[in-house]
Amino acid sequence: MGSALIPKLKAKGYKVSILSRSESMKETTRIWDYKKEYLDPLAFDGVDTIVHLAGAGVADKKWTAERKDEIYNSRTKTSLLLYNELEKREHQVKTFIAASAIGLYGSDTGNRIVKEDSVVGNDFLAHVTDAWDTATGKVKSLGIRLAQIRIGVVLSEKGGALKEILKPPVAAPLGKGDQYMSWIHIDDLCEIIIYAIDNTEIEGAYNGVGPKPQTNKDFTKVAAKAFKKPYLPIAVPSKVLKVMLGEMSTIVLGGSRVSSEKIQKAGFQFKFPKLPDALEDLKNR
């Protein structure tokens, strides 16, 4: 996400400084380590906007107890570290854009349309996201404008959900196949973040999803056609996925039909509102 966002920010004339756990020769880099509660003393120098995207990938590894702690702490403790340092230091930060996730609403919300004021779910990722939002929400008490972007299924040519769906020799639906995937092209997600930076009226929670969620079955069929992969309409059984993935299977067996109405009413226009167009663009990269 960060690697896609940085060149877009630079193209618009922004100067970018990166918070990282290691040095980078390519960019201005400031070191931080939430486990040691350390943040470079120069981290906020010349900074008026923070874009907080840190967080261990929820689908990168199987959910052991240790991995679940990492997923939780890498989001909440990084947020609290930023808040604590902002509270005690002199700075000129006026805007804080925080990543969040549609997992807040629960792993499976069925066919109903989910909006920003929908209730919080009761599973692991909902718990993580709720705590994450609470942690980033503390910056509002410092007089800093906060926008929380609840990110859906991000489509990119460099990895993520699209790569996993197309990895098997034959593309097939997962589980029942009727669970919704609230997807968004990575360029549109970057542009939502930039829109939130540029427009001071953008404040509070916004769903970072495209306007046309698809069921898993329909998404897989369209993706297979776009990338010329064989499509098998026989779904991978839920029991198989639960054995393979354990608790993490809730990510693919569940789904949410999430609305993008709020960000659109705020004036944002999607470049890739339709799945075939989004996939065609990614295929050509």
Domain range annotation of the chain:
2-280
Give, in degrees to the nearest 5, the angle at Cα 148 between 180 and 106: 35
Residue 60 region by backbone torsions, left for phi larger than 0, else alpha for psi between -120 and 50, else beta: alpha
Distances (CA, A) of 248 to 156, 253, 268: 21, 9, 33
| Position 214, amino acid | Q
Q: What is d(CA 196, CA 67) in angstroms, rounded to the nearest whole number?
A: 31
Please tell me the distance from the alpha carbon of residue 122 to that of residue 104, in angstroms, as a whole number. 9
Q: Which region, left, alpha or beta, applies to residue 228 given φ > 0 means left and ψ of -120 to 50 means alpha? A: left
What pLDDT shows up at residue 264? 98
Decide: helix, strand or coil at residue 38: strand
Looking at the domain that runs over 2-280, which CATH code has it been given?
Answer: 3.40.50.720
Q: How far is the C-alpha of 234 from the C-alpha of 84, rounded, in Å?
A: 51
Q: Which residues of the chain have pLDDT under 50?
A: none
CA 8-9-14 angle, 5° bins: 150
Q: In this structure, what token pair is assigned to residue 173?
A: 């639906």
**CB contact at 8 A, 282 and 155:** yes
